[in-house]
Amino acid sequence: MIHLIPLCCIAFTSHVQPPSDSLPKYPAAAVISMINDLAKELEKSHPGYDRYHSGSSSHQYLDSLKSTITADSLTEPEIYRKLKPFIARIGCLHTDLSLSASYISHLDQQPNLLPLQLMFENNQAIVTANYSAQPEPAPGTVLTAINGNSIPAMLDKILPAIPSDGYNLTMKYKALYHQFPLWYRNMINPDTTFTLITADNKTITLKGTRFADIVRSGFLKEPTYARTLDFRINGNTAILTIHSFAASDIKKSGQHFSKFIDSAFLQLRQQGIHQLIVDLRGNTGGTDGNAVYFTRHFFDTPFRYWDRIIVTPAIARQIKGIARLFYRKPVLVNGEYQWQRSKITREFNYYAIQQPAANAYTGKTFVLTDGFCMSSCADVTAVLSAHRKAVFIGEETGGGYQGNNSGMMPAVKLRPTRMMLTVPLQRYVTAVDSTINKGHGTMPDYVVPLTAKAAIEGKDQPMELALRLACTQ
């Protein structure tokens, strides 16, 4: 059986030995048993398991999935490719299935990555950067097939495997733009040679590349910034950039969140700045306290941030013994077990009434968003949008408008394999209209997606529009 780690015993995974050249195979019966156990544990512990799909439809999906297991035995990557779309289907960007660390390390040492960055538009793959040693394909080249797989056929396999909140697609396409070589390797095949067919029927062959040879900030790994927080005033318009709400990221850049935000909004008031552009693109979330602290600066009256936090009955029963020293027992309200404020940490306090900041901003605000606005960042945009505190420009956020499943996220090994499953144990419900943007993120008032042409030319169309709109106010 698969069992989630108790709340009082959350642990990190340990190092495992690197795989041999021959991948172990697992009997089909053992794989089917693992899938059955996995489904039971998700139903019992995952607070958003049926948030976007009914239990009966999930059972039908799993029955269909198990019927595809016709071989006598399967390797870990074969199992992964079958299970990954099921995990993503839950509609939770915090629920993740990952290949074992040792197998990923093994893959990273091999030249099995396509050395191209691709933008996907209208079922076409457009090259935006070429990291190979040869000049072709040049940026702007349109690809129609890779190693005999048409672009639409590949998208049909890869897109369902990329996790996002609800039915969101902007996060999936953003992930493809920044991580396509990894998604191809993991979901299609770790090929070492790539035969590309272009839109003008030209054939180009590229050798695969090792991970270390092409990885860079913003491509195959998260971008790094000298300053996580940035604030500048240009004439009558101010631009505030928040790359992350995570306390760890902010600390790395030698900054202090509340002091920085206080200083920025004090300057806005002192200098009489009435147009503010907030750039949240690529902000994958982080510390809830920082997200709430920022949001308070747009309110001059008390407001709600979260409506409630929900756990499953099974998780509620785990709050006992030593765990009660840290967490209060969830309370059954209207058929839901709702999380209560912690005795020690303020991490879960934001469903209470929030007070406005001392220097609340009353000018015109424009917020830039994209598919990588996730988690606590998506909470911020949802609350600001619900109260019409800003004009939104860019793309639908990757994180859900109505909230997400996150909080404590223990990881378990899916035996008999070495794959790891991460399951969030708390369902956060944002204090917004539950009938708006259901299954989606915060929608922009002005839709301005990143295009291949803009990426190649280095143009920032959302920021350009925000600056034009600010000048007309």
CA quadruple 411, 415, 419, 421: dihedral positive or negative? Answer: negative
Query: Are 303 and 430 in the same domain?
Result: yes
pLDDT at 318: 86
Tokens of 264: 């920025």
Query: Are 261 and 392 in the same domain?
Result: yes
> Is 136 a member of any domain?
yes
Using alpha carbons, list the distances in angstroms from residue 271 to 72, 320, 435, 468, 472. 72, 53, 40, 21, 19
Query: Are 435 and 395 in the same domain?
Result: yes
Query: Are 150 and 66 in the same domain?
Result: no
Dist CA 371 CA 174 (whole Å): 6
Q: What is the CA radius of gyration of the chain?
A: 23
Is residue 128 within 8 A of residue 176, CB to CB? The reply is no
Domain containing residue 330: CATH number = 3.90.226.10
> Is 307 a member of any domain?
yes
Query: Are 455 and 361 in the same domain?
Result: yes
Domain containing residue 112: CATH number = 2.30.42.10
Whether the predicted model's global pTM rises above the 0.85 cut: yes
Tell which of 203, 221, 239 closes a domain. Answer: 221
HEC states along the chain? Answer: CCCCCCHHHCCCCCCCCCCCCCCCEEEHHHHHHHHHHHHHHHHHHCCCCCCCCCHHHHHHHHHHHHHCCCCCEEEHHHHHHHHHHHHHHCCCCCCEEECCHHHHHHHHCCCCECCEEEEEECCEEEEEEECCCCCCCCCCCEEEEECCEEHHHHHHHHHHHCCCCCCCCHHHHHHHHHHHHHHHHHHCCCCCEEEEEECCCCEEEEECECHHHHCEECEEECCCCCCCEEEEEECCEEEEEECCECHHHHHHCCCCHHHHHHHHHHHHHHCCCCEEEEECCCCCCECHHHHHHHHHHHCCCCECCEEEEEECHHHHHHCCHHHHHCCCCCEEECCEEECCCCCCCCCCCCCCCECCCCCCCCCEEEEEECCCCCHHHHHHHHHHHHCCCCEEEECCCCCCCCEEEECCCCEEECCCCCCEEECCCEEEEECCCCCCCCCCCCCCCEECCCCHHHHHHCCCHHHHHHHHHHHHC
pLDDT at 13: 34
pLDDT at 111: 98
> Is 1 a member of any domain?
no
Query: Are 43 and 94 in the same domain?
Result: yes
pLDDT at 9: 34
> Is 417 a member of any domain?
no
> Is 361 a member of any domain?
yes
pLDDT at 60: 96
CA–CA–CA angle 162, 219, 292 (5° rounding):
70
Dist CA 242 CA 233 (whole Å): 15
Tokens of 412: 């378990």
Identify the CA nearest to 439 among candidates 52, 73, 27, 132: 52
Query: Are 92 and 168 in the same domain?
Result: no
pLDDT at 471: 87
Tokens of 440: 């989606």
CA–CA–CA angle 133, 135, 138 (5° rounding):
125
pLDDT at 321: 59
- Number of structural domains in the chain: 3
Tell which of 98, 132, 161 closes a domain. Answer: 98
Tens digits of pLDDT across the chain (473 residues): 444 433 333 333 333 334 445 789 999 999 999 999 999 999 999 999 999 999 899 999 999 999 999 999 999 999 999 999 999 999 999 999 999 999 999 999 999 999 999 999 999 999 999 999 999 999 999 999 999 999 999 999 999 999 999 999 999 999 999 999 999 999 999 999 999 999 999 999 999 999 999 999 999 999 999 999 999 999 999 999 999 999 999 999 999 999 999 999 999 999 999 999 999 999 999 999 999 999 999 999 999 999 999 999 999 998 775 555 566 788 999 999 998 877 666 767 898 899 999 989 999 999 999 999 999 999 999 999 999 999 999 999 999 999 999 998 999 899 999 999 999 999 999 999 999 999 999 999 999 999 999 999 999 999 999 999 998 87
Distance, CA of 175 to chain centre = 8
Dist CA 137 CA 198 (whole Å): 9
Identify the CA nearest to 147 among candidates 103, 230, 205: 205
Q: Residue 82 belongs to what domain range?
A: 7-98
Dist CA 105 CA 472 (whole Å): 53
Query: Are 155 and 198 in the same domain?
Result: yes
Query: Are 240 and 209 in the same domain?
Result: no
Dist CA 366 CA 298 (whole Å): 12
> Is 103 a member of any domain?
no
Tell which of 170, 186, 221 closes a domain. Answer: 221
Q: Tokens 């631009």 label which residue? A: 239
Q: Hey, what amino acid is at 330?
A: P
pLDDT at 326: 62
Q: CB within 8 A of 105, min separation 6: which ones?
A: 18
> Is 142 a member of any domain?
yes
Q: Hey, what amino acid is at 229?
A: L
Query: Are 118 and 66 in the same domain?
Result: no
Query: Are 399 and 352 in the same domain?
Result: yes
Query: Are 340 and 468 in the same domain?
Result: yes
